[in-house]
Amino acid sequence: MAAELHVALVAADREVWSGQATLVVARTTSGDIGVMPGHQPLLGVLESGPVTIRTSEGGTVIAAVHGGFISFADNKLSLLAEIAELSDEIDVQRAERALERAKSDDDASAGRRAEVRLQAATAR
Amino acid sequence: MGAQLRVYKRRIRSVTATKKITKAMEMIAASRVVKAQRKVAASAPYATELTRAVTAVGTGSNTRHPLTTKAETVTRSAVLLLTSDRGLAGAFNSNAIKAAEQLTERLEREGKEVDVYIVGRRGVAHYNFRERKIAESWSGFTDEPTYADAKKVAAPLIEAIETETAEGGVDELHIVYTEFVSMMTQQALDAQLLPLSLEEVAEETATKGEILPLFDFEPSAEDVLDALLPRYVESRIYNALLQSAASKHAATRRAMKSATDNAGELIETLSRLANAARQAEITQEISEIVGGTAALADATAGSDR
């Protein structure tokens, strides 16, 4: 049996990505976690960070996720996030500008968001 | 042109202009309803997944949390009322406000204090005019609410519910919003948002015939619940905001449609009256001419003799 799991990456206002995958790596509050097909049912809190999805076609999807949850059961994985962006949707220049602005405004959470965006964008 | 006729003509012109405006507003509202409906649909996957997750924690552990624990005696409740910023939407706002007032009355009869939180300028104006106290209010986003707006609204409410009642916190949270049933039907209703009864949520999912597995919690069930419940409340408020927006646009569309129809009818009546006035004028002129010639003929006939 081909080991696959169904992934749905869902933001509060839209479904960002969904499809079949072989491995999903996400960052929870207690560290990075990798989920492969057949993993034990899991429910975790996500940190802001990049999520890497290895699709069954062999491609890689990277998304920036800000706050949210990972839940896995019955070979179905859902990534819930308030804000989620695929790496190719991210405008690097805008994110850099946002990072600088956040630095000058001393806004830690906005800075973190911009950093995660950049990380995800450069990882593609 | 007679004075009467001129008055009619002027009124027809002004009603025609109004009709054009209401027609345009109707079409704008119609396109916005569709957009708003699409947003409601787009937010559904997140809400469903979140409900599943909340149920999973609720059934998989005996964690207690301020957002799910019922206070033994409820002394203060919060009511969140969702109205719109702009009117011209028929009975949309007054229905929502009426529902909120009925709920407030009921809660007060049960001996609870009520804190009112309002979204939308219309509701704020209504309460200010009657000099009633508003705990907090927000406006400016009711036409197209975003998730960030829902977060903004939810934050003080969650804080209030987590505060001890003696220190000014609240024990329950009710929400009054307008449910979007269909293009023609929208219904103002109230629902208790908090404390969340996990059993109820579980029942909702259970009826769909889903059996939830035993989850591994990362880092722990308490922490997951801690993070999950505020998100759940936010997503419920987000959904209510979106439904209210869709309902408001649908109500506007309907109100503007009947305004356009009424203007059409008015124009018809006025044109009939204007026609009658014109006819009367012509008839009068004819009879004046006929009368004049007759008099003239009489006079010449007299001088001939």
Average pLDDT over residues B126-154: 90
Percent of chain B with pLDDT over 70: 91
- Residue to substitute from A6, A77, A82, interface B, most B β-carbons within 10 A: A82
Say whether pLDDT at B186 is over 80.
Answer: yes
On whether ipTM exceeds 0.85, the answer is: no
- Least confident interval from B14-18, B26-30, B228-232: B228-232
> Quick count: other Cβ atoms within 10 Å of Cβ B300?
9
- For residue B226, the chain A residue with the least C-alpha distance is A45
Instruction: Please judge whether A69 and B45 are an interchain contact, meaning their C-beta atoms are less than 8 angstroms apart.
Output: no
Confidence of residue B44 (pLDDT cuts 50, 70, 90): confident
Predicted pLDDT of residue B209: 57
CB nearest A80 (choices: B49, B213, B218): B49
User: What pLDDT was estimated at residue A1?
Assistant: 44
3-state secondary structure B221-264: HHHHHHHHHHHHHHHHHHHHHHHHHHHHHHHHHHHHHHHHHHHH
Q: Give the residue-averaged pLDDT of B74-78.
A: 86
Measured in angstroms, the CA of A123 and the nearest CA of chain B are apart by 26
A11 contact B CB<8A = yes
Looking at domain B27-257, what is its CATH homologous superfamily? ATP synthase, F1 complex, gamma subunit (3.40.1380.10)
Instruction: For chain B, say whether A12 makes contact (Cβ under 8 Å).
Output: yes
Residues of B in contact with A42 (CB under 8 A): 215-218
Backbone angles phi, psi at B70, to 5 degrees: -80, 135
pLDDT over threshold 80, residue B285: yes
Which chain A residue has its CA at the smallest distance from B223's CA?
Answer: A45
Q: How many CB pairs lie under 8 A apart between chains A and B?
A: 89
Calculate the average pLDDT of chain B.
87
Does position A111 have pLDDT exceeding 90, yes or no? no
Question: Which residue in the set A30, A71, A73 is minimally distant from B219, CB to CB?
Answer: A30
| Closest chain A residue by Cα to residue B225 | A45
CB-CB under 8 Å, B215 with A41: yes
Q: Which pTM was predicted?
A: 0.83
Mean predicted confidence (pLDDT) in B27-50: 90
Write down the pLDDT at residue B63: 67
Which has the minimum average pLDDT: A17-26, B49-58, B185-194, B237-246? B49-58
* pLDDT (0 to 100) of residue B198: 67
Amino acid at A85: E
d(CA B148, CA A82): 9
CB neighbours of B258 closer than 8 A, spacing ≥ 6?
A: none
Q: Which amino acid is at B90?
A: G
| Residue-wise pLDDT tens digits, B150-171 | 989 999 988 888 887 777 788 8
Ramachandran angles phi, psi of B236, nearest 5°: -65, -40
User: pLDDT per residue over B82-124, tens digit each?
Assistant: 999 988 888 899 999 999 999 999 999 988 889 999 999 999 9
CA distance B27 to B21: 10
